[in-house]
């Protein structure tokens, strides 16, 4: 076996991935589908792929990252489109009753992004203060059951639902986009930052105050305490697609729910990290005052949703101190009502496109 390892390491990079797969077969491993020999999912086929596989074989490292094939991906998209078309046809071409499609913010047309931002600002500036009051509830309950336990994921799913309900009272059909920061892990280079009406303003000044753009102090946006929105966007990086995929490989069982939740909440490049890479308000208990908060939380909910899609047992999985029938802090929903995003309170079905 030592000779096989040495031989594999001296082969050229183009052959190493193939040799590594042969070693898997010799060791009794099953076939794994990867993209063009990209075993570690970093987007390239090179020496690192063979090393990754050898570490798996002999060092107990994570296994190869399975990549959805083009045909599978197309079939999944076609099925989603078919369901949407059927629903819209039944509704006379109008948005499907109860179905909310959340789109990736950087892939949305400019007009749809601008529509979301203008709707958010309309709700934010309404004298009834409903959205502002809900934003403050995150700070109120920040250390009272929202984080560091199993309720973290369902609570934030319910929070998104309540905010979305408010926004739809101003603009029917508007939904909260998700920010898939794996598409551009270098956070400070994301196209969401900028001063246009379809962007979320930019970094803060020397005092961290965001001054211009839709959420700038000079254009009238303030936190609920009357102060400017603060940001200190650093050069930190969010998780890559491979690192997110590793979550599913590392915690494949429904019984792994709380370990999965803990890693998603606190793991490098994930929930906590992105909050504090954006910095300023986002890295405090007042984080929900930054509208980007909701895009980020929708991404976290989407990652959880993908884990839940592994089986009915995953969809129903929960482990924590709060009972399934108990109301979540500050929300009118029980924890159990928020486990299935396809059947949320009010008959709402959330789809991540």
Give the Cα separation of 329 and 311 in Å (integer): 28
Is the model's pLDDT at 260 over the cut of 50? yes
340: CATH? 1.10.1280.10
Is residue 209 located within the same domain as residue 329?
Answer: yes
- Is the sign of the CA dihedral 219, 222, 226, 228 positive or negative? negative
Average pLDDT over residues 140-144: 84
In this model, does residue 25 exceed pLDDT 50?
no
In a domain, 34, yes or no: yes
In a domain, 164, yes or no: yes
Handedness of CA 179, 266, 327, 325 (dihedral sign): positive
| Same-domain status, 31 and 136 | no
CA distance 3 to 21: 16
Lowest-pLDDT choice from 3-7, 67-71, 108-112, 177-181: 3-7
For residues 146 and 253, membership in a common domain is answered with: yes
Tally of domains within the chain: 3
User: What confidence tier does 88 reach under pLDDT thresholds 50, 70, 90?
Assistant: low
Measure the CA angle with vertex 312, ends 307 and 313; round to 5°: 80
Tell me: do 274 and 342 sit in the same domain. Answer: yes
Same domain, 215 and 343: yes
pLDDT digits (tens, 9 = 90+) for 153-190: 999 999 999 999 999 999 999 999 999 999 999 999 99
What is the residue range of 85's domain?
70-95
Average pLDDT of span 141-164:
93
Same domain, 291 and 178: yes
Tell me if residue 337 falls in helix, strand or coil. Answer: helix
Alpha helices in the chain (DSSP H): 2-10, 13-26, 47-59, 70-90, 110-125, 130-140, 152-170, 241-250, 257-266, 271-278, 292-308, 312-315
pLDDT at position 41: 47
Burial class (CB in 10 A: 0-12, 13-18, 19+), 132: middle
Q: Say if residue 225 is in the same domain as residue 181.
A: yes
Whether residue 65 lies inside any domain: the answer is no
The pLDDT of 260-285, averaged and rounded, is 98
Which pLDDT tens digit goes with each residue over 317-352?
Answer: 999 999 999 999 999 999 999 999 999 999 999 999
Distance CA 146, CA 141 (A): 7
Task: Answer yes or no: do 30 and 157 share one domain.
Answer: no
């Amino acid at each position: 076996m030592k000779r096989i390892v040495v031989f594999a390491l001296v082969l050229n990079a183009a052959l190493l991935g193939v040799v590594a797969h042969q070693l898997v077969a010799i060791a009794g491993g099953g076939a794994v589908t990867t993209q063009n020999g990209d075993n570690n999912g970093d987007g390239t086929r090179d020496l690192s792929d063979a090393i990754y596989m050898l570490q798996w074989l002999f060092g107990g490292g994570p296994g190869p990252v399975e990549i959805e094939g083009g045909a599978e991906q197309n079939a999944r998209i076609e099925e989603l489109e078919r369901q949407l078309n059927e629903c819209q046809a039944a509704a006379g071409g109008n948005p499907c009753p109860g179905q909310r499609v959340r789109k990736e913010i950087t892939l949305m047309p400019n007009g749809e992004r601008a529509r979301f931002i203008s709707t958010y600002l309309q709700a934010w500036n309404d004298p009834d203060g409903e959205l502002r009051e809900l934003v403050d509830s995150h700070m109120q309950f920040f250390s009272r059951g929202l984080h560091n336990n199993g309720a973290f994921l369902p609570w934030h799913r319910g929070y998104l639902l309540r905010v979305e309900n408010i926004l739809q009272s101003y603009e029917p059909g508007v939904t909260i986009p998700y920010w898939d920061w794996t598409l551009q892990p270098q956070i400070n280079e994301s196209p969401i930052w900028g001063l246009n009406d379809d962007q979320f303003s930019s970094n803060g000044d020397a005092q961290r105050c965001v001054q211009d753009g839709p959420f700038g102090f000079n254009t009238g946006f303030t936190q609920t305490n009357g102060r400017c929105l603060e940001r200190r966007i650093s050069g930190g990086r969010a998780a890559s697609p491979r690192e997110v995929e590793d979550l599913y490989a590392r915690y494949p069982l429904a019984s792994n729910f709380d370990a999965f939740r803990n890693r998603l909440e606190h793991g490098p490049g994930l929930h906590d990290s992105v909050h504090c890479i954006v910095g300023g308000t986002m890295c405090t208990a007042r984080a929900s005052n930054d509208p980007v908060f909701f895009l980020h939380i929708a991404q976290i909910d989407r990652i959880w949703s993908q884990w839940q899609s592994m089986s009915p047992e995953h969809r129903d999985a929960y482990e924590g101190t709060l009972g399934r029938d108990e109301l979540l802090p500050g929300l009118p929903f029980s924890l159990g009502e928020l486990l299935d995003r396809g059947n949320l309170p009010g008959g709402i079905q959330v789809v991540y496109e």
